Chain A
Amino acid sequence: MIPASSPIFERSIYMHPKSYSILGSHGSKSAVERIAQAVFTVCGFFAVLAVASITLYMVISGTPALFKVGILDILFGTVWKPTAADPSFGILYVILTSIMGTALAILIGVPIGVMTAVFLAEVAPARLAGIVRPAVELLAGIPSVIYGLLGILILNPLMYKLELKLFAGSSTHQFTGGANLISAVLVLALMILPTVINISENALRSVPTEMRSASLALGATKIQTIFQVVLPAAKSGIITAIVLGTGRAIGEAMAISLVSGSSVNIPLPFNSVRFLTTAIVSEMSYSSGLHKQVLFTIGLVLFAFIMIINISLNRILKKGEAKQ
């Protein structure tokens, strides 16, 4: 620190006897500034460092197996027998399950989510919105394992009843006890709701009131205004909501590992299925050697999917900005 007898110290007392401002004389100012600058830069680079090291790590640990097993054999093989005497590591069904499951969850979750957002932003009386909004916020805060438990305790038994009715007497269907693609999709759809609702609602709210007024003044009804004017105006925000929802759905592991059955199968509605995430989670603990490397490759595939989603999100956001 600056010694009490230094000229800087004395001068500063003389000039600003009661000032507590951080702006001081030149020398000490630059020291404070420089240290603060350094601290902030270091903090800022933590995120960069994390992303860079994760990317590097995923590529380094995920690629060897691709070449050992063969890219086509991994990505387009349909047989997953990692511990067999003659192991095969085909993850085509796993990839398809992730795509299919996410797409279906979006198909169910997005309409409900956007409608809820419209309700909250446009039509709901203040008191009703006061009930719905905290509920949505709570939904966002519930840990994913709780969704999974809910699925295993409520959804799976219901699904099993349905399965027993639909496939009664079938000799080819393998009964799964309700742990199937539909269960996983329903849980995922529920889980992406808060994301979709919150972001769409913000987008709807940021549509200028003048546009609504103009539409109403032209004689459009409230519903016409919402669907013809407000929703199109909030399009880029709603697309952002969908993309973020997709990201959440494809990256979810815990909840669906409990309800999906986790056998590698073609993603048909009543089949027990395994997602990219659950493939890693369920086998990482005891795997070794090539098996473990392939699990890292699955992680790399998942990572690639999420990167694609993020990049497309950035594109959409930039487009939206350019328009405005």
Chain B
Amino acid sequence: MKKNLMKFMAIAGTTILTMGTLSGCGSSNAETVAAGTAPQTTAAQGETAQDTPNLKGSISMVGSTSMEKFSTALSELFMEKYPNVTVQAEFVGSGAGVEAVNNGSADIGNSSRNLKDEEKANGVAENIVAIDGIAVITDSANAAEDLTKDQLISIYNGSITNWKEAGGADQPIVVIGRESGSGTRSAFEEILKVEDNCKYSNELDSTGAVMAKVASTPGAIGYVSLDVLDDTVKTLNLDGVEPSADTIQSGSYFLSRPFVMATKGEIAEQSDLVKALFDYIYSDEGTELVKSVGLIPVN
């Protein structure tokens, strides 16, 4: 009797252990995901039931790679709110995005620059949904206060290598940037028109790393999104303008660019789906979303 019990225990034990090993990974993942999304889903369902139960269909979005983070976050949250809607986003570049919306192959063209006059002449409407602002930072002991656009370009393309040529003390400049592929880097290089000409001495893979490196290295210069600035580094004025949400919205701070979601014709002429998407972007939730991906809301 006891012997068989022992055998049974042995087999059962082994089986349970094996099953535990096999399923352990999968099940814990599932739980994490469920726990993470549960509150949002319930909230979204609550709202869907109230206002727009019957929105159905798909929206196609084509354009800027810089807007990938924003567009992805937007489409995820939007699809969560309207479960019957699919948002497809492709990231092929601003020009291609505007072209796609112009010839009707996409509902929305993402562009991380202002639309050109000839694009507007074709009836493409420029709907600015957010503004991307970048701050230039140095270590807090640096004497330099202000850089002109030309000085900033010269520092990053390697023609100025000492702070004494840029209004600072006699010390070498340590040029710090982000890795290729980073949205901040592409924005910075696009605005200054120094694409692929930058001579970085450090290419760090996160905003935090740039902040830490600049803070701890005398003579370092780096660029980060506006929203992460703190006291450990000194923020430089550019062309005499201090970076802030106000100066960026007014356009006087040059290291910023609009994120445009272009449509063929005004928003009011669009389908209900597209209208709902823009309503969402300009709503409080949308503003939160814009802030959460490190951008500045327009309104």
Contact = CB atoms under 8 A, between A and B. Distances in A.
Most chain A CB inside 10 Å of its own CB: which residue of B18, B181, B218, B220: B181
A120 interface: no
B11 A177 contact: no
Interface residues of A, number: 54
Chain A interface main SS type? loop
B76 interface: no
A160 interface: yes
Interface in B29-67: 65
A164 B203 contact: no
A156 B215 CA distance: 13
B234 interface: no
Contacts of A261: 201-203
Interface in B149-186: 158, 161, 172-176, 179-183, 186
Contacts of A272: 200-202
Contacts of A39: 14-15, 18
Interface string A63-105: 0000000000000000001111100000000000000000000
A2 B4 CA distance: 8
A49 to B, nearest CB: 12
Nearest to A83: B180
A164 B181 CA distance: 31
B183 A22 contact: no
Given A22-B10, A177-B217, A283-B179, A262 B204 contact: yes
A104 to B, nearest CB: 20
Nearest to A81: B196
Contacts of B1: 4, 13
A85 B196 CA distance: 9
Given A84-B196, A152-B212, A288-B181, 6 more contacts: A2-B4, A9-B4, A160-B217, A175-B219, A262-B202, A283-B181
Interchain residue pairs A-B with the least CB separation, the first 4: A286-B181, A177-B217, A282-B205, A175-B172
17 contacts: A2-B4, A4-B1, A12-B3, A12-B4, A13-B1, A39-B15, A160-B217, A174-B158, A174-B201, A175-B174, A176-B201, A177-B174, A262-B205, A263-B201, A263-B202, A283-B179, A288-B91
